[in-house]
Amino acid sequence: MDQVSRIYLDHNATTPLRAEARAAMVAAMDVVGNPSSVHAEGRAAKSLVETARAQVARAMGAADADIVFVSSATEAAALACAGRDLVAAPIEHDAVGAWVADRLAVDRRGTVDLDEPRDSALQLANSETGVMQDVPAGTAVSDMTQALGKVAIEFDTSGIDMALISAHKLGGPKGVGALVLRRGLDVTPTLRGGGQEMGRRSGTENIIGIAGFGAAAAAAQVDVEAGKWAEIEKLRNILESALEAASNTTIFIGKEARRLPNTACFATPQWKGETQVMQMDLAGFAISAGSACSSGKVKTSKVLTAMGFGHVAGNAVRVSLGLETTEQDVMRFADIWAQKLKKHEARAA
């Protein structure tokens, strides 16, 4: 496979490892100590963890919150939601949806209104559509996995109790995430033993992954503050305009709502999303049909169905851009996608 000619447009699934994260992880590999040990080697390892904790806290605007390192946002969701009677809308990621009752309505724009925030989970941004929510103060749990690193977050002033985040969505390594919780709030640990992570998650910390997470979060914060994602939003809009010009039947889902700057979700009736993904893959593009966190399964999107797009949910694909994406990349994608569409229409005629 010729990797040089390929264009990666699936950043909401996972992102390329940032150089800063790679360097921090390589350095951490030479740190011998266990973070729980009190000798010099242990203190050196603990210092890496605490440096990363501070870096993630700064990126989250969470200087007054606790950062609990875990293996993934999925584990963070279990830690936050287990044993609680929470309600949510069916747009939540399955990691949250597994623990909550789908009782809240979502409108056609993809937005949700919470009546009782204290008893609710509400994501900040949706992985499939990019639609962002106005998460009210008092919300119990908010999945901020897709938003961190793309938009500014101020957890301390948000009034939210807990947030879920993951390293590999912002240029960090896979296999490490965090639960961010308002200081003074406690959770019941699901992993018990040595009492690591302030007693909230036992098990020797993955200092290599955590170091990479911290470095990626710090670098991502710099990019957000520099306004780099505004340029990506322009590219996303250029892409959607080019696709609209190629097809008068394609539906752009969530376009009327506030969205992540990098995400386009669109459905072309009578053209399966899975087919589009395979055709574009063969043409050198990585895109997805919905969320990419379900063991490679392609199934009808509950998110799009809940929004009222069930009739075209199987025809939807998601393109999610990264900071390295260029205008040439998106225009090449639009051109080849239009060619594939014409061939599909000719076969269907």
Fold of 19-225: Aspartate Aminotransferase; domain 2 (3.40.640)
Query: In the prediction, which pLDDT does 298 show?
Result: 60
CATH 3.90.1150.10 given to domain 7-14+227-348: yes
> Nearest CA to 10 among 284, 299, 225, 306?
284
**Given this model, what pLDDT does residue 283 score?**
97
Per the DSSP assignment, residues forming a β-bridge with 163 are 142, 180
Q: What are the domain boundaries of the chain?
A: 7-14+227-348, 19-225
pLDDT of residue 291: 52
Instruction: Look up 293 and say whether it is catalytic.
Output: yes
The pTM assigned to this predicted structure is: 0.93
Which residues, listed in sequence order, are joined to residue 318 by a DSSP beta bridge? 265, 288
Listed in sequence order, the residues at least 6 apart from 23 whose beta carbon sits closer than 8 Å to its beta carbon are 215
Predicted pLDDT at 295 = 45
User: What pLDDT is recorded for position 193?
Assistant: 75
| pLDDT for res 202 | 67
pLDDT computed for residue 24 by the predictor: 98
Q: Hey, what are 7's tokens?
A: 């264009």
Which amino acid appears at position 175 of this protein?
G
DSSP 273-337: HHHHHHHHHHTTEE-BSS-S-STT-----HHHHHTT-TTTGGGEEEEE--TT--HHHHHHHHHHH
Q: Which amino acid is present at 163?
A: A
Residue 297 confidence (pLDDT):
54
Do 210 and 71 meet the contact criterion of CB atoms below 8 Å apart? no
Q: How many CB atoms lie within 10 A of CB 239?
A: 23
> What is the structure's pLDDT at 188?
81
Q: Select which of 125, 216, 292, 293 is catalytic.
A: 293
Handedness of CA 61, 67, 71, 77 (dihedral sign): negative
Q: Tens digit of pLDDT per residue, the chain (349 long)?
A: 444 589 999 999 999 999 999 999 999 999 999 888 899 999 999 999 999 999 999 999 999 999 999 999 999 999 999 999 999 999 999 999 999 999 999 999 999 998 899 999 999 999 999 999 999 999 999 999 999 999 999 999 999 999 999 999 999 999 999 999 999 898 887 777 777 777 678 687 899 999 999 999 999 999 999 999 999 999 999 999 999 999 999 999 999 999 999 999 999 999 999 999 999 999 999 999 965 455 455 677 999 999 999 999 999 999 999 999 999 999 999 999 999 999 999 998 7
